[in-house]
Every structure is written in C-alpha cells, then in structure tokens.
C-alpha cells in the first residue's frame, strides 16, 4: 500500500503469510507499483513474466515460495528497467540463468561514487522503504533504505548452464548470490568490473577453471564463498583476497596457494630438502647406487673364481696387483 508520506511511491508487502495458489494477474494493472514483496508464502506458479509491464518496479521479491519453471522474457521491449532488488531464491526455478532480464536491469548499471555505509540511509529527497534480504549469508531487514542498494539473489533453485557475462555490466551491484544451483562453466572475467560488490556467493555449483585475477580489483568485497565447486589453479593474492579464509575455498581439491595449506610448487613434494643438499655436494643417492652396483658385480666375479675354480694363487696375485697399483 502507499506510504502516507510518499503517496506517489506505492508498495505491496505481503511477505510471511500463507498465500497459495496462482499469483493474480490483476497485479499487472498496478502500473505505479515500486515494491512487490511476496516472500515467505506458498504461491505455486511459473515466473510472472506479465509483471514486465510494471516499468516503475524497483523491488521484486518472490523468495521462499513454490515458483517453478524457466525464467524467460516475454514481449516487453525493456522489461524491469528500474529494478534494483531481484530476489527469487528458495524456489524451484530451472533452466539457464535469466540473462534476457539481467541485461535489461538498467537500474543496476549506474554507479554511486560515494560508496559509504551511509549510502543505504534515507533522506527526505529519496524514495525509502523496508525489505528483508539475505546479506552476506545472514537474513536481515533493512529499514528506511533507499534503492541505490542493488542485489540479485537466485540461490537455492535448479538453474544450470553458464553465468551470463552481462552481469559484469551491473556496476552498482552490491550483492550477488548464485549458490546452491547446478551452474557450470567459469567465472566471467567481466566480474572484475563489479567495483561496488560487497558479497559474492557462488558456492555449491559445478563451476570450474581458475579464479579470475581481475577479482582482486573488488576493493569492497567483504564476503566471498566459492566452496564446493571444481575450481583449480592458484588462488589470486592481493587486495581483499588476502583477508579470506579457508572456508571461502573448501571443497575445491584442485585449488592451491594462500590461505590453503596445499602448495602450488610441485618440486617441494618430490624429495626431502636434505637429499637435495647431498646432491649439491657431489655425493647424492645416485652416486651411492652406482657404487653399490659396481661393488656387487666385482664381488660376484671374485667369488666365482675363488670357490668354483679354487685358484687361490690367482686371488693372491690379483690382490697383490691392486695394492701395487
């Protein structure tokens, strides 16, 4: 319903109820709607693509319902152009990630240069409201925020396929959660452009390849979770990456480097350090082996002549000759 002090900014908060069935299409007539929060109900429907007509919508939260099927764009030339919070987590959506929508999220492209903790607070000149979000792994209600705050949460569904490169164009994005899906491929290098990103959760997917070095440019990244994937190679160092612990990379056996105990230097696993020191001095294990083999052969020949032919005089002559030399 509209706020009494902001009659031109209508919102609809229906979260935390027991609403079920299909979502009524009559919502498409609320052309001035800014916030639609339906989280925490039992609504069982496909994605309401007919909401594309709500050109003023800034917050769409369908979290924790029973929505299902593929999220695809239908008809609208510029769907959801002002959307700043897109939360469809904890549903049963499937298919590829909704790139057709993401590339039209123009409300997430503009960057606020004054990146401070006060950027989320309200003043009389800005549209303000409250919404519950999962931030940095914790659920919390943001009260009196204005929507320069931008997040995408597609976690806990059945999405598959690769991560759309166009996400890297959402320069004002604060949080991105794609965890607990079946996403494959690599992390796009374009993620290095998300300079305002504060948390990134890609855990529990099937991502592979190396972690892009470009991510060390994300100076505001406070939470990173890449666990339970198939990443490999050296973990980037520098910037915020020096602050992340082992938990950020758990379940990726092919990763190495700080902060993991697994070294990326394969030569360190070949032989103990003391063995290399002996080789450098010219008396390594190879020389010992060669000497042992020669001595064994000489002994066999000597034993044959002594015990098989019984020529002790030959042995005496041989020994005398060796000493004379």
> What are 223-248's pLDDT values in tens digits?
999 999 999 999 999 999 999 999 99
Q: Residue 74 — very low, low, confident or very high, per pLDDT cuts 50/70/90?
A: confident
| Of the candidates 297, 270, 300, the residue with the CA atom closest to the CA atom of residue 285 | 270
- In this prediction, residue 133 carries a pLDDT of 59
Task: Say whether 300 sits in a helix, a strand or coil.
Answer: helix
> What are 23-62's pLDDT values in tens digits?
999 999 999 999 999 999 999 999 999 999 899 999 999 9
Exposure pattern of 74-87 as b/e (b: 16+ CB <10 Å)? eebeebbebbbbbb
pLDDT surpasses 60 at 282: no
- In this prediction, residue 41 carries a pLDDT of 97
Please answer whether residues 203 and 228 qualify as being in contact, where contact means their C-beta atoms are separated by less than 8 angstroms: yes
Query: Which residue carries 């996403």 as its tokens?
Result: 183
Distances (CA, A) of 280 to 48, 98, 274, 288: 72, 60, 10, 14
Axis-axis angle for helices 285-307, 312-324 (nearest 10): 140
Please answer whether residues 171 and 193 qualify as being in contact, where contact means their C-beta atoms are separated by less than 8 angstroms: yes
- In this prediction, residue 22 carries a pLDDT of 96
DSSP 163: P
How far is the C-alpha of 229 from the C-alpha of 205, rounded, in Å? 5
User: What is 123-159 written as a DSSP string?
Assistant: -TTS-EEEEEEEETTEEEEEEEEETT--EEE--SSEE
Query: For 308-317, what is the mean pLDDT?
Result: 54
> What are 286-301's pLDDT values in tens digits?
555 555 565 656 566 5
Q: Residues, the chain, total?
A: 325
How far is the C-alpha of 260 from the C-alpha of 12, rounded, in Å? 47
pLDDT surpasses 60 at 271: no
CA torsion through residues 319, 320, 324, 325, sign: negative
| Of the candidates 6, 8, 104, the residue with the CA atom closest to the CA atom of residue 60 | 104
Query: Which residue carries 């396929």 as its tokens?
Result: 161
pLDDT surpasses 60 at 81: yes
> What are 113-153's pLDDT values in tens digits?
444 443 444 544 444 555 565 655 555 555 555 456 799 99
Residue 266 burial class via C-beta count within 10 angstroms: exposed 0-12, middle 13-18, buried 19 and up? exposed
- In this prediction, residue 299 carries a pLDDT of 60
Q: What are phi and psi of 202, to 5 degrees?
A: -120, 20
- Furthest C-alpha separation in the chain: 123
> What are 168-181's pLDDT values in tens digits?
999 999 999 999 99
């Amino acid at each position: 319903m509209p706020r009494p002090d902001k009659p031109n900014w209508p919102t609809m908060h229906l979260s935390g109820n027991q609403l079920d069935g299909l979502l009524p299409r009559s919502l498409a007539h609320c052309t001035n709607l800014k916030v639609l929060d339906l989280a925490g109900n039992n609504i069982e429907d496909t994605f309401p693509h007919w909401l594309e007509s709500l050109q003023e919508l800034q917050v769409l939260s369908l979290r924790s319902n029973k929505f299902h099927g593929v999220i695809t764009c239908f008809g609208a030339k510029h769907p959801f152009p002002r959307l700043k919070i897109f939360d469809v987590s904890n549903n049963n959506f499937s298919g590829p990630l909704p790139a057709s929508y993401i590339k039209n999220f123009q409300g997430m492209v503009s960057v606020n240069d004054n990146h401070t903790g006060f950027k989320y607070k309200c003043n009389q000149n800005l549209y303000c409201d409250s919404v519950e979000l999962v931030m940095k792994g914790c659920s919390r209600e943001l009260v009196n925020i204005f929507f320069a705050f931008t997040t995408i949460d597609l976690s806990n569904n059945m999405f598959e396929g690769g991560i759309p490169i166009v996400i890297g164009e959402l320069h004002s994005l604060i949080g991105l959660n794609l965890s607990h899906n079946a996403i494959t491929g690599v992390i796009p290098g374009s993620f290095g452009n998300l300079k305002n990103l504060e948390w990134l959760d890609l855990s529990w997917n099937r991502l592979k390849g190396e972690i892009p070095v470009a991510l060390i440019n994300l100076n505001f990244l406070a939470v990173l979770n890449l666990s339970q994937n198939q990443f490999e190679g050296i973990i980037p160092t520098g910037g915020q990456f020096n602050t992340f612990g082992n938990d950020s990379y758990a379940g990726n056996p092919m990763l190495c480097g700080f902060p993991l105990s697994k070294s990326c230097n394969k030569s360190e696993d070949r032989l103990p350090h003391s063995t290399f020191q002996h080789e450098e001095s010219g008396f390594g294990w190879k020389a010992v082996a060669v000497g042992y083999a020669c001595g064994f052969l000489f002994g066999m020949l000597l034993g044959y002549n002594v015990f098989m032919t019984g020529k002790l005089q030959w042995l005496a002559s041989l020994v005398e000759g060796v000493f004379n030399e």
